[in-house]
Each structure stands twice: as structure tokens, then as C-alpha cells.
């Protein structure tokens, strides 16, 4: 494995085809009529999209071949459920579906035991989420999912949180090309007399950020959402989220 490259058994990732958006839409329309050849071309022409999603999980210690196969299942679901008549790019709809399929796989392989009833609620919530995404072509809120399930929002959140895979203390939280900050670096001793001063400095630095920057940091580091998920919620591109997040963290670091 090389920097920013994912190697897969039996797959030459450098030769994966890439379809233009117009080609995708044309093939999607044909696939909807039952054209299996168009469906196969869509799958093979979007494998690079799956690869780009798999790259987000390279530091989790999982078998990348397995994640790629699972991601392909998410891609197929996206192809089968996407409505080409909607004014939405296929990748905008497909990426969350691929991420969701991989996350479900990781949750199913979680070593922590969760009650069957709790898992059933969580899986039903994810099914409702996928259905709403197919109908609305946007990610539903927890409130909307809970309403469809006729359950309390708190119960749905608790069920979904119970199957989230644990995070390693050595998982990187932030890196600006220099020293990397890991999860364990954020775990402090509450009895440390210097903590209160650091907390004041951090709060003061955060108070100077714009409303959008505060929102991004809150979604990323308190709610644990990916940059792609934050982009969808705020209504900007993933690249903009990345740039705003990095800029905000840089200013916080300088002020403390």
C-alpha cells in the first residue's frame, strides 16, 4: 500500500473506467427499463467511486478487499434505487449509500455485544433512512426517521449509537502535515490544575470562529459525521468543508 493509494487483489485500480455524468444518466435510464448490459456498465464505470469511499477507511485495520466488495453492494443499491429524472448527480446520491453499506458491515463485525432488540431497532432505522433517501434524494434527519418508525427520537439515537464501531485511541483526529493529533491526545486528566486554563483558551478561540465554522466543527468532532455528511447537511461541497475545517483548527491552535 502506498500513500493515498488503495491496492485491491485482482483489481488494477489505475485502469478503472470513469463515466461522464451524461453517460451515467443515459445508462441509468436504460437500466431502469431492464437493460442488464447498461446496468453492468454502470457498475464497472463507478468502481472508482467505490474506491474513493474505501480510502476513507484505510486506517481502521480492515481488509480493504472486503470493504471494496461491500462498497460495491452499496453501489448496486444506489443504481437500483436512483431516479434519473431528478436533478441530482448520481455521485451525490451514491456516495452516502456506499458509506452506509460499509458502516453497516463494520457494525455487524463489532466485537462489542449489543442486545438483539437494540440491533433490530438500529437496522430498521437504517432501512428507513435508505428508503427516505431514495424517495427524497437527500439524507433524512433523525426526527424524520423516528417519525416514520413511530418511536421517540432518543430511542432511535440510542439504538444507532449502540452499533457504532469503537474508535481506537490511536486513530488520528487531525493532521496538518506536521504532528498528528490522535484520540488519546484529547483524553485529559480532569484533576489536572492546568485544564481549566486550557478550556478557557479553547472556548475563547472557538468563540471567534464564524457560525459556519462552529457548525462544521460541532458536526465533525461532537457528532462524529464525515466531511461528506457535513457537506450534505450544510449545503456546500466536501472540499469547502475540508478547507473551512482546516482553517478553523489552524486558528484555534495558534490562539491556544
CA 88 to the chain's CA centroid? 19
**Containing structural domain, residue 206:** 172-255
219 within a domain of the structure (yes/no): yes
- CA–CA distance, 27 with 20 (Å, rounded to integer): 11
Show the DSSP H helices in the chain as ranges: 21-32, 36-45, 47-54, 64-81, 90-108, 116-136, 142-149, 153-162, 195-207, 211-221, 227-234, 238-255
C-alpha cell read off for 245 = 475545517
Query: Domain holding 176: CATH number?
Result: 1.10.10.10
102 within a domain of the structure (yes/no): no
100 within a domain of the structure (yes/no): no
Residue 5's pLDDT is 47
Residues 82 and 7 in one domain: yes
- CA–CA distance, 53 with 10 (Å, rounded to integer): 19
What is the total count of domains within the chain? Answer: 3
Residue 227's pLDDT is 84
Residues 26 and 83 in one domain: yes
pTM: 0.44
Provide the Cα torsion 71, 73, 76, 77; round to 10°: -100
pLDDT, tens digit only, all 256 positions of the chain: 333 344 555 566 667 778 888 888 899 889 888 899 999 998 988 888 898 888 888 766 677 888 889 999 999 998 988 888 877 888 888 888 898 888 888 877 755 556 677 778 888 888 898 888 888 888 888 899 999 999 998 888 888 877 665 555 555 555 545 555 555 555 555 444 445 455 556 667 777 888 888 888 888 877 777 888 888 888 888 888 888 888 888 887 776 5
Amino acid at each position: 500500500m502506498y500513500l493515498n493509494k488503495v491496492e485491491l487483489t485482482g483489481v488494477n485500480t489505475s485502469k478503472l473506467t470513469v463515466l461522464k455524468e451524461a453517460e451515467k444518466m443515459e445508462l441509468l435510464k436504460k437500466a431502469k427499463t431492464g437493460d442488464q448490459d447498461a446496468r453492468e456498465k454502470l457498475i464497472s464505470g463507478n468502481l472508482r467511486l467505490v474506491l474513493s469511499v474505501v480510502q476513507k477507511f484505510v486506517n481502521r485495520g480492515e481488509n480493504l478487499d472486503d470493504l471494496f466488495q461491500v462498497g460495491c453492494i452499496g453501489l448496486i443499491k444506489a443504481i437500483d434505487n436512483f431516479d434519473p429524472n431528478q436533478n441530482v448527480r448520481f455521485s451525490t446520491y451514491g456516495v452516502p449509500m456506499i458509506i452506509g453499506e460499509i458502516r453497516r458491515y463494520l457494525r455487524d463485525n463489532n466485537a462489542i455485544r449489543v442486545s438483539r432488540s437494540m440491533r433490530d431497532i438500529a437496522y430498521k432505522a437504517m432501512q428507513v433512512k435508505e428508503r427516505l433517501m431514495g424517495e427524497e434524494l437527500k439524507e433524512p434527519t433523525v426526527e424524520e426517521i423516528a417519525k416514520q418508525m413511530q418511536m421517540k427520537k432518543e430511542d432511535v439515537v440510542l439504538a444507532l449509537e449502540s452499533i457504532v464501531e469503537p474508535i481506537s485511541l490511536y486513530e488520528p483526529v487531525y493532521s496538518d502535515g506536521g504532528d498528528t493529533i490522535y484520540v488519546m491526545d484529547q483524553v485529559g486528566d480532569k484533576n489536572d490544575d492546568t485544564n481549566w486554563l486550557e478550556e478557557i483558551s479553547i472556548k475563547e478561540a472557538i468563540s471567534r470562529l464564524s457560525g459556519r465554522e462552529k457548525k462544521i466543527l460541532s458536526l465533525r468532532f461532537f457528532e462524529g459525521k464525515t466531511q461528506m455528511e457535513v457537506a450534505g447537511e450544510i449545503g456546500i461541497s466536501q472540499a469547502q468543508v475540508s478547507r473551512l475545517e482546516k482553517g478553523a483548527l489552524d486558528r484555534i491552535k495558534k490562539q491556544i
